Amino acid sequence: MNGVLLLARVQARIFPGSWLYAMGRFSARQIVRFSSGVRESVMANGRRLLGANATEERLQSFAVDVVTNFTRFFIGMLRAPRDYPSREVLLETMQGREHGEHVLGLGRGAICVTLHLGNYELGALLAERFQPAAIVYRPDPFHLVERLRSKTRDFADVGEITTDRMMFGVEVLDLLRRGGAAFVAGDIGFAGEAVGDEQPFFGGRARFHSWPARLSVSSGAPILLCFAPYDEEMGMHRIVLEPPILPEEFGNDADAITHAMVQVFERHLQRHPEQWLILHRYWVE
């Protein structure tokens, strides 16, 4: 697999972006056609996201769109930062900028929680407003992917804290107490991870990370929900911020905070279901 990734990296340096994105769409169709595991998993997620009335044809199309958006994200990472909007453009086009300013004004640090949606790495480009800042994540099993991600994060001047470290929570807590920001995905990005808490989600139950809520309670840092969907009219990803979740407004109840986060996740996935870059069966069947 690392050989395939290395070839893709070489192609990203040689071929124009338009060709790469076209090939991504072509590859997505082939993956959905020939990889029954990916096809069935994404279609199963689609039945939840699109509702019981979604036809098989619609679900097949949905699966191609999801995998296409995954290739768009991956190609963008290969070409980063060439294809990324500048910090200035991200700030100008940001929706909900006032929520970020409110959190900055509190001076309590921030736990910036997102989904694997659109280009979820883009939020870190705004980390200069919060310093120190770090991405909190589980390392990818493919080392080349991690090297690509680290390159993007170095460009954004963002540190890294991996959740496979025994004391990662202490590191994040220290970051927050210094007024910094921790960037984390609230959904489960890898198949087979029996982590997180089950939450009601699109009529079923699914797992989400609960430790951001517990850290919010421990540190007093607000949770700032941020997303980076692709905007077809603008032809770019844009940052969308939601009103912050303040732990004291939920009685410092981590379960209630996690539930509130998941409700916001639902709203964004209702708007952009095909941009959720989850290729495994997500719901607890």
11 vs 25: which has the higher pLDDT: 25
Please tell me whether residues 143 and 165 are part of one structural domain: yes
Q: Is residue 283 part of a domain?
A: no
- pLDDT score recorded for residue 150: 66
- pLDDT score recorded for residue 81: 75
Residue 145: pLDDT band with limits 50, 70, 90: low
Please tell me whether residues 166 and 263 are part of one structural domain: yes
Please tell me whether residues 124 and 250 are part of one structural domain: yes
Place of tokens 């590191």: 171
pLDDT 10s digits, 114-132: 999 999 888 777 777 788 8
Contact 263, 245 (CB under 8 A): no
Q: Which of 47, 44, 48 is nearest to 36 (CA)?
A: 44
Q: Which of 57, 63, 65 is nearest to 38 (CA)?
A: 63
Please tell me whether residues 95 and 49 are part of one structural domain: no
- pLDDT score recorded for residue 29: 96
Chain mean pLDDT for the chain: 89
Please tell me whether residues 6 and 49 are part of one structural domain: yes
Listed residues 16, 46, 79: the one ending a domain: 79
Q: How many domains does the chain have?
A: 2
Q: Is the pLDDT of residue 199 over 70?
A: yes
Please tell me whether residues 71 and 92 are part of one structural domain: no
Q: Taking residues 77-103, report their average pLDDT.
A: 88
What is the number of alpha carbons within 13 Å of residue 106 lying toward its C-beta? 23
Listed residues 53, 79, 105: the one ending a domain: 79
Q: Is residue 66 part of a domain?
A: yes
Q: Is the peptide bond before 81 cis (omega within 30 degrees of 0)?
A: yes
Q: Is residue 95 part of a domain?
A: yes
Domain of residue 192 covers 87-275
Residue 233: pLDDT band with limits 50, 70, 90: very high
Please tell me whether residues 271 and 168 are part of one structural domain: yes
- pLDDT score recorded for residue 124: 74
Please tell me whether residues 62 and 162 are part of one structural domain: no
- pLDDT score recorded for residue 12: 65
Q: Is residue 65 part of a domain?
A: yes
Q: Is residue 282 part of a domain?
A: no
Residue 7: pLDDT band with limits 50, 70, 90: low
Listed residues 48, 79, 110: the one ending a domain: 79
Q: Is the pLDDT of residue 279 over 90?
A: yes
Residue 10: pLDDT band with limits 50, 70, 90: low
Please tell me whether residues 107 and 75 are part of one structural domain: no
Q: Is residue 280 part of a domain?
A: no
DSSP state of 277: -
- pLDDT score recorded for residue 67: 97
Q: Is residue 175 part of a domain?
A: yes
Please tell me whether residues 133 and 21 are part of one structural domain: no
CA distances from 67 to 29, 43, 50, 279 (A): 8, 11, 16, 8
Q: Is residue 64 part of a domain?
A: yes
In angstroms, rounded to a whole number, what is the distance separating the alpha carbons of residues 164 and 110? 22
In angstroms, rounded to a whole number, what is the distance separating the alpha carbons of residues 105 and 86? 24
- pLDDT score recorded for residue 27: 93
Please tell me whether residues 189 and 259 are part of one structural domain: yes
- pLDDT score recorded for residue 262: 98
pLDDT 10s digits, 33-89: 999 999 999 999 999 999 989 999 999 999 999 999 999 998 888 887 778 888 889
- How many other CB atoms are there within 10 angstroms of residue 175's CB atom? 24
Please tell me whether residues 32 and 131 are part of one structural domain: no
H helices present in the chain, as ranges: 2-14, 17-34, 36-50, 56-79, 87-93, 97-106, 143-155, 168-177, 211-219, 254-271
- Across-strand partners of 183? 112, 135
Q: Taking residues 206-214, report their average pLDDT.
A: 95
Q: Which of 206, 203, 239 is nearest to 92 (CA)?
A: 239
pLDDT 10s digits, 166-197: 889 999 999 999 999 999 999 998 876 667 89
Q: Is the pLDDT of residue 229 over 60?
A: yes
